Structure 1
Amino acid sequence: MNRRHCATAAITLVCALALLTAPVQAMAAPVPEPAPSAPAAPKKSLEEVREEIDTLYRQAGAATDAYNLAEEQSKKQSGEIVRLTEAIADGQAKIAELKDRVGAQAREQYRSGGLPPGAQLMLSGDPDLFMDGINQARQGQQAAKGVLTELEQAQEDLETYTKDAGLNWEKIEAGRVKQAKAKKSIDARIAAAEKLESQLATEEQARLLQMEKDAASTAQASWLSSGALRDIDRAASPAGKQAVAFATAQIGKPYVWGAEGPGSYDCSGLTSQAWAAAKRPIPRTSQEQWRQLPRIAVEDMRPGDLIIYHSDASHVGMYVGGGSIVHAPRPGRHVTPAGVGSMRILGVVRPDK
């Protein structure tokens, strides 16, 4: 029994030691099944890409107008500051001259003993001299009063010029900030549109261009079918002929935002330069052209008139007759003819009405 007991105890001890020296395995949580990957976003159709690119370029066009307007205002205010600076210099010279005259009068009075003219006359003892002196004194007093009044006015003018110059500097700075914001917006949208186009295969880019042409042709056909062109056969004015000749001569030149020629144009750069060539300066931007120029009915338009497009007046083309315009479409394109109805018409303006 003792041997059996000892053997059993030995076996138990060996088993216990084996358990103690065996490597411990941690109880890990069950490994979750990998989540199914999210389905890839469906690839946009080429038509959707075309619409997105068109929207981006339209937004860039609206921002371009803001940029051009700020630039135009800045030039105008800079010219005004030059004028005010010259006026300030003239005013300072005038004040110096008037002060010299006042000083001369004071010195003259000093040389006469410092007595007022009336007292000097009373001491003269000559009635005729006294009467003549009275008149001269009066004239002298009026002249002195006139000089002082003129001096006060010159000083007020100088203060006004200086204040106006300061306000114009503030406007120029505000315009610079506005330009910077507009440029940032333009660059971002053009870059996004160009990125979308660059991601297309060569054959897709060719199809995209054809889709643009097809969409424009469809819109133009719809416009023509409405009878809009039926009564439009008016002749251009002499100035209008000059503007049309200039615009058509630019066909083939690239669109560059903010450009006014001679090598490239944006939409309103083309129309404003065409009318400048006809000796009829007009506002620089399409939005200001729409706001400031006389409006006419579509059925009354003639070659040289400007057609404003989109609800925000962000695009403009020049009517050249026969239901066609010449315009600078967008970045990546060139000055080209197009149908009047190829885009949504906002209205028509006439620079030489």
Structure 2
Amino acid sequence: MTRRRSVAAAITLVCTLTVLAAPGLAYADPQPPPAAATAQAGDRTAAAPEKSLEEVSKEVDALYRKAGAATDAYNLAKEQADKQSSLMVELAQDMVRGQTKIDLLKQQVGVEARAQYRDAGLPPEVRLMLSGDPSKFLEGATRLRAGQHAQHTLLSQLTTAQQDLKEYTRDANSQWQKLEANRARQAKSKKDIEKKLAAAKKLESGLQKKELAQLAELERQQAQKAQTAWLNSGILREIDNKAGPLGKKAVAFATKQIGKPYVWGAEGPKSYDCSGLTSQAWAAAGHPIPRTSQEQWKQLPHVAVRDMRPGDLIIYFSDATHVGMYIGGGMMVNAPRPGRDVTIGGAGSMPILGVVRPDA
């Protein structure tokens, strides 16, 4: 009996130890783990390896490009909102003029009504028939026709003025709805821009001063590599066109802004974004163009890269989110991105989507 109890106790102990050793079940260990085990655990839970400078550069560039796209959307919404605000002012003025016209016409209709009342309410035709003087009858008939025509014209003008006022009101409501929609898009784009810029700045803030300098140098080398490849294609042998009169003025304005900082949404005079610089340069030349790089690409005449001349705008990336101005010799002036100043760079330093000519 005693032996059977000993065997049962041994089996119970083995089962208990097996359960405790089973994977997936956690129990508190009253003893601290050995130093070697701690080191191994530390190795397993250590942070992921730091990103290389090239990886940081690509990530920062992608964030700034996305911020650039959002900036274009912001600028377009702002431009459209400004136009709609101006239209609403014009419509309000039209409505005031329309109401004034209606009030004046109503006064004239009232004068006619009071005149009929003074004549005992008799229609003009009856009064003519009651006249015993033929000459006066004929004279009165002529005046009657003129009066009827004037009255018909008066009522027609009043109807038209009332219809115009209704149309102005409908247009004003429509423009108000568009204005509110553009303001909402503008606010959304602004949040998107701020989010992307904050993410890019966070990445850059994690770099040491020396690394920031290396990052800038890496960007320069990448741009130089792209520019060299572009020049090696022999394209510059085909580009030998002189600027037009307006193009010269635009280039002169743009190059005077060199050294001023990039600020998203800015269009001078102290700072610019990429399309703010190009649109203001052409405005200074006396030839206003669309505000954003995407609208510049959509609306302005396209020319072949080999035919471009100083003053033409080079649109970059497949989504047309960046623009620079060609100044000759294979170079362009542009406002690159936040944290950079307006500068001269290689025309082929970024992927070219195409070229537009504002004064074509």
Letter in 1 for 2:349: S
User: 1:286 — aligned with what?
Assistant: 293
CA-CA distance at 1:135 after TM superposition = 1.4
Distance 1:299 1:69 in 2: 30
Normalised to the residue count of structure 1, the TM-score between the two structures is 0.90
User: 1:245 — aligned with what?
Assistant: 252
Equivalent in 149, 159, 162 of residue 152 of structure 1 = 159
Matched, 1:142 2:136: no
User: 2:242 — aligned with what?
Assistant: 235
Distance 1:124 1:113 in 2: 15
Letter in 2 for 1:229: L
Distance 1:243 1:31 in 2: 75
Residue-pair matches, total: 327
Distance 2:212 2:85 in 1: 44
Letter in 2 for 1:110: Y
1:100-132 Cα shifts (integer Å, max 9, x gaps): 110101111111121001111111111111111
Matched, 1:220 2:227: yes
User: 1:59 — aligned with what?
Assistant: 66
Letter in 2 for 1:203: K
Letter in 1 for 2:245: P
Equivalent runs, 1:1-353 vs 2, <5 Å: 31=28, 36=41, 37-353=44-360
CA-CA distance at 1:38 after TM superposition = 3.3
Which stretch of the first structure deviates more once superposed, 284-293 or 39-48?
39-48
Letter in 2 for 1:272: S
Distance 2:150 2:209 in 1: 86
CA-CA distance at 1:39 after TM superposition = 4.6
CA-CA distance at 1:229 after TM superposition = 1.0
**Unpaired runs of at least 5, structure 2:** 1-16, 21-26
Aligned-residue RMSD, C-alpha: 1.5
Letter in 2 for 1:204: E
1:167-200 Cα shifts (integer Å, max 9, x gaps): 1111111111101100000000001001101101
1:33-87 Cα shifts (integer Å, max 9, x gaps): 8894435312111001000000000000000000000000011001100100000
User: 1:12 — aligned with what?
Assistant: none
Distance 1:108 1:215 in 2: 88
User: 1:7 — aligned with what?
Assistant: none
Distance 1:163 1:175 in 2: 18
Distance 1:178 1:305 in 2: 30
User: 1:8 — aligned with what?
Assistant: none
Distance 1:118 1:197 in 2: 92
Distance 1:101 1:262 in 2: 54
Letter in 2 for 1:152: T
1:134-178 Cα shifts (integer Å, max 9, x gaps): 111111111111100000000000000011011111111111110
CA-CA distance at 1:260 after TM superposition = 0.5
SS at match of 2:348: helix
Distance 1:334 1:275 in 2: 20
Letter in 2 for 1:42: P
Greater gyration radius: 1
